[in-house]
Chain A
Amino acid sequence: GPKVLQIPSHQIIDMGQMVTLNCDPVSNHLYFYWYKQILGQQMEFLVNFYNGKVMEKSKLFKDQFSVERPDGSYFTLKIQPTALEDSAVYFCASSPWDWGGYEQYFGPGTRLTVL
């Protein structure tokens, strides 16, 4: 089936540094998402993105977070500066449709550890 790729699979950084998580979504998909999962907790929606704009963001999407997809390349999540509580697995997802009842395709996740 369609594949979403995420780079890197693991990232370890010091608190206060900047980190960029990269997502290569399915090629003909139009809607992109980031989710955060802390170990042992449920996966939580962060943000969705369409046509170059953030459409919706949750309260977890702090001011230190930003997303972009310049020129149809990677869909990125940038955290600047990072905090200890940002340690989690971040999943990227994409979807071809604007209907919330349509499935999202998830990448394998990036495990971020903030020291």
Chain B
Amino acid sequence: GDSVTQTEGQVALSEEDFLTIHCNYSASGYPALFWYVQYPGEGPQFLFRASRDKEKGSSRGFEATYDKGTTSFHLRKASVQESDSAVYYCALGINNYAQGLTFGLGTRVSVFP
């Protein structure tokens, strides 16, 4: 079945550091890829998506590029702030109908002042 692997379980950074979270996927079809962010006490919030190879998604300074060749969708941000502390989820959905999303385990990002 489809799967999403996030390499980092936890990341600790200082403000203004560069953030990278690695996401690799395995899917039988041609998936759409998503990043969601979850703050304490809330459900996951949509950050952005990409639907085809080489498409870049971005929001709030975060970005990721769909790479079909390496089956990856790594999340990056050039300069993190304390308010970016949250859990980040990579997810995939099949494009052609409203199937449930397949999530990675999540990466807990802690940013210290």
Contact = CB atoms under 8 A, between A and B. Distances in A.
B101 interface: yes
Interface residues of A, number: 33
Interface string B29-73: 001101010000111111001010000000000000000000000
Contact of A45 (B34, B96, B102): B102
Contacts of B42: 108
Contacts of A101: 32, 49, 51, 93, 95
B101 A104 contact: yes
B89 interface: yes
Interface string A60-97: 00000000000000000000000000000001010101
A106 B100 contact: no
B95 A35 contact: no
Contact of A106 (B32, B44, B97): B44
Given A101-B49, A103-B46, 7 more contacts: A33-B100, A48-B100, A99-B95, A100-B32, A100-B97, A106-B43, A107-B43
